[in-house]
Amino acid sequence: MNQDAERISNAGPEDSVLVAAAQQGDQAAFGEIVRRYQRAIYRVAYALTRNASDADDLAQEAFVRAWGAIGRFELGQPLYPWLARIVTNLAFSLFRGRKRRPETPLEPLLDAGQQWGTTDDPAENVAQREHDAHLRECFDELTPEHQVILTLRVIEDQSYEQMAETLSVPIGTVMSRLSRARAELKRRMLQRTGERR
Amino acid sequence: MKHLTAQQVNQQLDGALPPEERDDVLHHLEECAICRQLVQEFVVQGEQISHALRHDPGEAYFATFSGRVMERVAAERAAAHPGRAAGARGGWLGWVGSPRALATVGGTLAILAVAGIAFVQWRSRPSAFAILGHAKGKTAEAPHAERGRTVDEGSRAQSRATEREGAVSKDSKEAEAPAERAVDRRANIMSSPGAREVAESNLRQAPAPPAATRARDVGVDDRAGAAAGRAEPTQTKAQKLEEASGTQFRFAKPSAAPPVQNEAVPRPGEAQGGTNALRKDVAARSLGSAEKSRAPAPSAAAPMSATLDARSPLVATTVRVCGVVRDPNGRAVPGALVAVAESGRSTVSEADGAFCIDAPGGRSTLAALAVGFETARIPLADATSAEPIAVVLKPVATVVPPSPFAGGAKRVSGAEADGANAPDPFEGEAAATRAEVARARQQAGLAARERSAGAWDAAATDWARVLARVAGVGSADEARYRVAEARFRAWEAAPDARRARLAEETLTSFLVRAPLGAKRDQASRWAQQLSR
């Protein structure tokens, strides 16, 4: 899934133009930025919180913070990693505030059939839901850094450079962190399914 | 065979292999099933993550999302704008709006409030003040000056209020008692039965106000009365005193006593009445704090008066006036209260009737009051210490109690007569005023025959009209008495709260001005009757 394609499909002025206008106090321009990146930011927020309500709060707060800091944004730099960094930092803050991992949400279980349960086999649906539940639980057990790197890569399809920009870390760190995150998630999934067996 | 590294596997997954490694990695994956399976597992993992962690809230959610964000942005901007504006202003303007500034200002105000309360409480303790005043003497500036002014005002009020009473007794031992002893002193001052009754009645009517406030009230009130009645310079001086001291004298309205209406002299800029009921009470109290130049025990008031005198330009030039108080037979009158009306200073004559008192330079009036004598008033025009003053007090007439409906008292001795034998007090008034008097008398006669409250009310109104017209002091006293009588009779005929209040006001208005005599005694009895 190419998320860049989705953002590029938004017809209109370039991000830099909108940012420049927003830096001058143009709320309409900033509104356009919100509309342009709201889905991406919500995806990141949801992936990190696994809760629709938290994701909504996080996404809105991310844009509000972005408005407050738009004056410090350096024109010419990619906008999306900057927005993603804001929302991931907010997610980290949320994690630290709660002192615990996000609760396992009900929404994916409730609407799994609506989104992916297109098969007519009820048994397969149940197996898919169980697998997703295990995966979310294993994902919850990862460190926030691993959750974020996997989210940015898998959910948002960010490149290494974008992830490095978002996380303000070197590309090598992105690569190693992503590699360890994948391995850790795989290990936990194998461990969980092995226990089940 | 060497397997792919984890980095190469991830780069393969993410399409990030360097071009120079891409062919080698692809070749290895074609040959190595383990590495191919590993990559395949991560591909599946990615798809599963994407499925499990993705949530689509629907188009409706995103249709309104930007709007909600922009609402919050607008709210944040509105909330943050003052702060930014303050920050842009910088300096103290920015600091003023900060919570720290509010806390600082609040703390400062709290400290000031506590200090103010402590100061007020300290000032409201007369005994402690008196002790402090003795201890510090003239070194204490403002509090002494303030209290001294109060004492002087009170003394002045006392001297005028008692001018017409013609009765005073010496009790210098209580001179330093500020308030409660003054109540006892008042009983001594009001040695005549009628005066005592008035004093007690007034005490009941005005129990609460502090002594200092009362003294100040009387000072002002009496100044106004004096200005209206006789002494214009006194009013001028009162204004000067207020201007010089920066103190706005106020009337303290007693809680129990209703306002007393001065029907003769409407005072501009102040509520009529309210303190007349206090006048005699406070005048008596203020006597306790009057100057006792020759009192054996040092008075708390004396040094304070001296302090004020030393500071005040109004009394900066004083002349020591000495003299002797005697009766018409040449016998010395001891214990006579001798007062200078303009300054409020007073002293008491010795056993041989001798006295000395400081009088302000220029024109002033010396008043001497003693029990059993009428008040003597002597103008001191350019008095000097070399001229001893001979004060001759005239004995007052003795009276027999009149019947309640006699309308006056019958003198059995004395120089003046009252009632039917007395000359018409309105004789010297203008013709129009005398016509009003005739009308009022006619109405009063009608009311006496009918004994109806309405008729007495009408009579009171007629007499009040007369009171507003009369010019002489004696005729004003007579008119004031008639008004009070009519009000009392109206209340007697139909007692209600309004008539009681009017009767009390008019009676008090008469009593605080009236000289000793049958009418005063009668008015005192009416006032007592009202209070019961």
> Confidence class of residue B115 from pLDDT cuts 50, 70 and 90?
very high
Chain B nearest C-alpha distance from A178 (Å): 8
pLDDT at B200: 45
Region A37-45: mean pLDDT is 91
User: What is the predicted pLDDT for the residue at A8?
Assistant: 45
pLDDT digit string, tens, across residues B276-330? 433 434 334 443 443 333 434 334 333 333 333 434 444 456 778 888 888 888 8
* For residue B507, pLDDT beyond 80: yes
Higher pLDDT, B94 or A72: A72
Nearest to A135 among B7, B48, B76 (CB): B48
Residue B81 has a pLDDT of: 61
- Chain B: closest CA distance from residue A136 (Å): 7
Q: Is A187 on the interface with B (CB under 8 A)?
A: no
DSSP B397-464: PPEEPPPTTSSS-EESSSS---GGGSPPTTTTS-HHHHHHHHHHHHHHHHHHHHT-HHHHHHHHHHHH
Start-to-end CA span in chain A (Å): 33
Check pLDDT > 80 for residue A117: no
Check CB contact of A155 with chain B, cutoff 8 Å: yes
Rounded to two decimals, the ipTM of the complex is 0.76
Q: What secondary structure, in 3-state letters, does chain A show?
A: CCHHHHHHCCCCCCHHHHHHHHHCCCHHHHHHHHHHHHHHHHHHHHHHHCCHHHHHHHHHHHHHHHHHHHHHCCCCCCHHHHHHHHHHHHHHHHHHHHCCCCCCCCHHHHHHHHHCCCCCCHHHHHHHHHHHHHHHHHHHHCCHHHHHHHHHHHHCCCCHHHHHHHHCCCHHHHHHHHHHHHHHHHHHHHHHHHHHC
**Residue A174 in contact with partner chain B when CB distance is under 8 A:** no
Q: Which of B8, B7, B48, B43 is nearest to B29 (CA)?
A: B8
Q: Do A31 and B70 touch (CB under 8 A)?
A: yes
Segment B415-419 shows an average pLDDT of 42
Largest distance between two CA atoms of chain B: 154
pLDDT for B165: 44
Lowest-pLDDT choice from B25-39, B92-106, B271-285, B511-525: B271-285
Is A131 part of the contact surface with chain B (CB cutoff 8 Å)?
yes
pLDDT band at B114 (very low <50, low <70, confident <90, very high): very high
Q: What SS3 state is found at B209?
A: coil
Q: What does the mean pLDDT of chain A come to? A: 80
Query: How does pLDDT run across A51-80, given as a tens digit for each residue?
Result: 888 889 999 999 999 988 888 888 888 888
> pLDDT digit string (tens) for B186-222?
444 444 444 444 444 444 444 444 443 343 443 334 4
| 3-state SS assignment for residue B378 | strand
Residues above pLDDT 70, as percent of chain B: 54
* Cβ-nearest to A179 among B10, B50, B55: B10
Do A189 and B50 count as a contact with CB atoms less than 8 A apart?
A: no
Over residues B130-176, the pLDDT tens digits come to 444 444 444 444 444 444 444 444 444 444 444 444 433 444 444 34
Contacts of A34 in chain B (CB under 8 A): 65-66, 69-70
pLDDT band at B403 (very low <50, low <70, confident <90, very high): very low
Q: B380-387: long-range contacts at Cβ-Cβ below 8 A with a sequence spacing of 24 or more?
A: B380/B319, B380/B321, B380/B340, B383/B319, B383/B321, B383/B359, B384/B319, B385/B319, B385/B320, B385/B321, B385/B322, B387/B321
Task: State the smallest CA–CA distance between residue A26 and chain B in angstroms.
Answer: 11
Q: Which residue of A has its CA nearest to B15?
A: A159
Q: What is the pLDDT of residue A178?
A: 92
The more confident residue out of B256 and B461 is B461
Cβ pair B55:A55 closer than 8 A: yes
Chain position carrying tokens 């005193």: B241
CB < 8 Å from B in window 65-84 of A: 67-68
Torsion-angle region of B216 (φ positive above 0: left; ψ -120 to 50: alpha; else: beta): alpha
What would the mean pLDDT of B4-11 be, rounded to a whole number?
Answer: 86
Residue B414: CB atoms within 10 Å = 15
- Suggest the residue from A63, A137, A142, A151 to mutate for an interface test with chain B (most B CBs closer than 10 A): A63
Q: Can you give the pTM of this predicted structure?
A: 0.38
- Taking only the tens place, the pLDDT of each residue in B466-502 is 888 887 878 888 888 999 999 999 998 888 888 888 8
> B220 or B522: which carries more pLDDT confidence?
B522
What's the pLDDT band for B80 if we cut at 50, 70, 90? low
Q: Say how far apart CA B399 and CA B397 lie, in whole Å.
A: 6
- How many residues comprise chain A? 197
Please give the residue that has the higher pLDDT: either B98 or B358: B358
Q: pLDDT-derived band of residue A121, with 50, 70 and 90 as boundaries? A: low
Least confident window among A132-136, B167-171, B349-353, B394-398: B167-171
Q: What pLDDT is attached to residue B128?
A: 45
Closest by CA to B471, choosing from B264, B165, B268, is: B264
Residue A28: CA atoms inside 13 Å, Cβ hemisphere, count?
A: 2
Provide mean pLDDT across the span A24-42.
90
Task: Give the pair of three-digit tokens for residue B502.
Answer: 């009017």
Three-state DSSP at B527 gives helix
Hey, are the CB atoms on A52 and B76 less than 8 Å from each other? no
Cβ contact B76–A68 (<8 Å): yes
Contact B73 A30 (CB under 8 A): yes
